[in-house]
Amino acid sequence: MWTSRSRVLVVLALGAVCASVPASAFDGTVAGQPDSTTAAALPVAAAPLTGGQALKKAVPPSTSLTALQYAAEGGHPIAQWRLGRMYANGDGVTQDDQRAFEYFSRIANAHAEDSPSAPQAAVVANAFVALGRYYLQGIPNSTIKRDAERAREMFSYAASYFGDADAQYDLARLYLKGIGAPHDVKYGARWLGLAAQKGQHEAQAMLGKMLFNGDQLPRQAARGLMWLTLARDAAQPDETWITESYNKAIAKASEDDRAMALQMLEHWVQGRRD
């Protein structure tokens, strides 16, 4: 799927990550994960925020399927990404994971070495995340089989080279679960902390749950409650594990924990504004 040069880049990136992930990324800002298997809990990557914004400008939602296909055949990464999402979700076309995989693969093959600051970088990173999730689950009745190590490669590249928060979250889960990688709580926690700091709400929820409960990490109830509050506010209706985690934590929290969590939330909001 990748060029040989891209594979070399991934290996180098993985080596660099082990040495370069800062200790400050893990300041107790990591959390536990939902009680489900990693594969089942990770849907094909949804639209990244910046990628979605670029998509609206470059390929309006009203663009016809024929026009998208024409642009995709011409190598337009955003058109390829849009078609990949359509086939993954069955949005206006018959749902076809194999076709979706092929479009995401085209993006990864052609744009793995694009600059992280390039306009299409978020879409490229998102394609790597989508491919990683496909490898984590496999595609029935296709040549794409479950391959957790390959999934880790995809997440690692998007997490380290592009700094993608979804990839960092997915990579953290692999290390925390010991799937496709050695079980390493500290290393998983660092990736989870990076994603949470960027506003990835699932990472914030995992982060908060582990911290509040002291699950594999030193207990920091107030900080855990802060992350759980942020995650609850951003959670989708079907993400009941997040709201349940928050409800359990707030019910157990002391008045001091709640007051300190509120102060931390105020600092977080102010920092995001600045």
User: What pLDDT shows up at residue 63?
Assistant: 60
- Residue 264 to residue 253: CA distance in whole angstroms: 15
Q: Report in angstroms the alpha-carbon separations of 212 from 3, 189, 239.
A: 44, 14, 19
What is the pLDDT confidence band of residue 69, given thresholds at 50, 70 and 90? confident
The per-residue DSSP string of 253-274 comes to --HHHHHHHHHHHHHHHHHHH-
Alpha helices in the chain (DSSP H): 4-20, 38-41, 49-58, 65-73, 77-89, 97-111, 121-137, 148-160, 165-177, 185-197, 201-213, 221-234, 240-252, 255-273
Phi-psi region of 21 (alpha: psi -120 to 50; beta: other; left: phi over 0): beta
What is the pLDDT confidence band of residue 7, given thresholds at 50, 70 and 90? very low
User: What pLDDT shows up at residue 100?
Assistant: 95
Return the number of other C-beta atoms located less than 10 Å from residue 45's C-beta: 27
What is the pLDDT confidence band of residue 269, given thresholds at 50, 70 and 90? confident
pLDDT of 41 above 90:
no
Return the number of other C-beta atoms located less than 10 Å from residue 16's C-beta: 12
> For the whole model, what pTM was predicted?
0.79
When computed from its CA atoms, the radius of gyration of the chain, rounded to whole angstroms, is: 19
Whole-number mean pLDDT of the chain?
A: 82
Nearest to 33 by CA among 217, 254, 233: 217
Nearest to 191 by CA among 19, 22, 16, 77: 22
Cβ-Cβ contacts under 8 Å for 165 (sequence gap 6 or more): 194, 195, 198, 199, 200, 203
Q: Rounded mean pLDDT of 95-110?
A: 95
Cβ atoms of 215 and 47 closer than 8 Å? no
User: What pLDDT shows up at residue 70?
Assistant: 87
Cβ-Cβ contacts under 8 Å for 125 (sequence gap 6 or more): 48, 51, 158, 162, 163, 164, 167
**Amino acid found at 4:** S
